[in-house]
Structures are given as structure tokens and as C-alpha cells.
């Protein structure tokens, strides 16, 4: 994939693969192209060159909302909750992405979200803008899960959160993946991300410079030095 912002090329022909059932991580410094990669996959930003294949179908020119119907769902960087809406109203916004055939299917999906995030069940009538950062992140992921993603794109879910909340969020992401949802994760917390990933890609200035199993990269001295602050 090659992506440009005007005359400035942000992704220089990168290639990556996410197999069904995997948890794959993209790590890299600010400006490496991680969020641009996610925006390209979800269709928010068009490719200058290249293609995106999802489940055997070329979705390169597919509109973003049609990618959502196909099962590509993104929880964006910055959470993006609807501040004036309650928890339940925020979750219901996720339902517009992929409609339910029956009320029972809808109710089962809501209960699944509440199983992952009991705090949301406790605060279902609370307005999103009055919640803590960690609770808003739970709400953003829960809203994405309401669309029943086949591929869940998570962009910096730990950003701005306290260490204990970060650990909780990552445990839940791992459980979501174990229960069958494929996950592509962009994350600057390399320790948490790599330790839980099947595979990972390292981006530097719009180029993939390393790839391999998450735990292998976690043990690599160069990765430790660059992204974990240890030699």
C-alpha cells in the first residue's frame, strides 16, 4: 500500500497480512505511518497505489461504510465516543453499521459486550462525556463490537490511560481475540502489544523494517532499545 497526503508520501509501498483468528500488532514511533495504515484499511484514506484484499475480495475501491458491512470495524485513535449520549446510546450507534436479523441477536451482542466490560453494564445510563478515559476506551471498543467485526482495527487503545487500566484493556483485547475476532492493533506500548501478538510489524517512516512473531520481536535487543527503553 502506498498512501500520500498531497505530495507527501506517508506509506511507501508496505505489505502486511493478517490471517483469520490472529492478533497482529503494528508498532513504531510517532509519524511512522501506523494510523495511516489503519485509515487506509478502513477506507477513510484512499491508496495512491496498491490493493487491499479482504477474505478474497478486492476492497480497494470499496466505500468505508461498505467495508463495515463486510466486517472491517475500527475503534479509532482518541476513542471518539459521543459525549452527549449515554453508554447505551453509544453502543446502539454501533448497531447502525451492521443490522441485526432478530432482537435476540441484538440482545446477545449487548450481553457479550457487557461480559467483556461489566463497567459499561453498571453505567449504561451515564453520559459518555462524563466517564473516565479508561471507561471511554471500553465504550469505544464495545461500540465497535456491537457491529460484530470480522476484523477489529484498534488504534492506540492504551493512549493516555493509567498503567492498571492499560493492563485491563489488553487482557480484554486478548480475550476478544481468543473468542474468535481477528484483531489488527496499532500500539505504542510495545511491551503489552508484542507479548500478546501472534505476529507484529515494525514501521519506520512509512516502511516495514521488521516483522516476526510478537514474542520474538519482544526479545530482540534492537527492539528493546528502540521501543522498550532497555538494551
pTM here is 0.93
Q: What is the CATH number of domain 2-80+148-228?
A: 3.40.50.300
Alpha helices in 10-86 (DSSP H): 34-42, 64-70
Q: Determine the 3-state secondary structure of 207 from DSSP.
A: strand
- pLDDT beneath 70, residues of the chain: 229-231
Rounded Cα distance, 90 and 145, in Å: 12
pLDDT digits (tens, 9 = 90+) for 165-192: 999 999 999 999 999 999 999 998 999 9
State the pLDDT at residue 95.
Answer: 83
- Residues 70/31, Cβ–Cβ less than 8 Å: no
Amino acid at each position: 500500500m502506498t498512501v500520500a497526503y498531497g505530495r507527501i508520501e506517508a506509506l511507501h509501498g508496505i505489505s502486511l497480512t493478517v490471517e483469520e483468528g490472529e492478533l497482529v500488532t503494528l508498532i513504531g514511533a510517532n509519524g511512522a505511518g501506523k494510523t495511516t495504515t489503519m485509515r487506509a484499511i478502513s477506507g477513510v484514506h484512499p491508496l495512491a497505489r496498491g490493493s487491499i484484499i479482504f477474505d478474497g475480495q478486492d476492497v480497494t475501491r470499496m466505500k468505508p461504510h461498505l467495508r463495515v458491512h463486510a466486517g472491517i470495524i475500527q475503534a479509532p485513535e482518541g476513542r471518539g465516543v459521543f459525549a452527549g449520549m449515554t453508554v447505551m446510546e453509544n453502543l446502539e450507534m454501533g448497531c447502525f453499521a451492521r443490522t441485526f436479523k432478530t432482537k435476540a441477536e441484538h440482545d446477545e451482542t449487548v450481553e457479550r459486550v457487557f461480559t467483556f466490560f461489566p463497567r459499561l453494564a453498571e453505567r449504561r445510563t451515564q453520559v459518555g462525556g462524563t466517564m473516565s478515559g479508561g471507561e471511554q476506551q471500553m465504550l469505544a471498543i464495545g461500540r465497535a463490537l456491537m457491529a460484530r467485526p470480522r476484523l477489529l482495527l484498534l488504534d492506540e487503545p492504551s493512549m493516555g490511560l493509567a498503567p492498571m487500566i492499560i493492563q485491563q484493556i489488553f487482557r480484554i483485547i486478548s480475550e476478544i481475540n481468543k473468542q474468535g475476532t481477528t484483531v489488527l492493533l496499532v500500539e505504542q506500548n510495545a511491551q503489552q502489544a508484542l507479548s500478546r501478538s501472534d505476529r507484529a510489524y515494525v514501521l519506520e517512516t512509512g516502511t516495514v523494517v521488521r516483522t516476526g512473531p510478537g514474542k520474538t520481536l519482544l526479545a530482540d535487543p534492537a527492539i528493546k532499545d528502540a521501543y522498550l527503553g532497555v538494551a
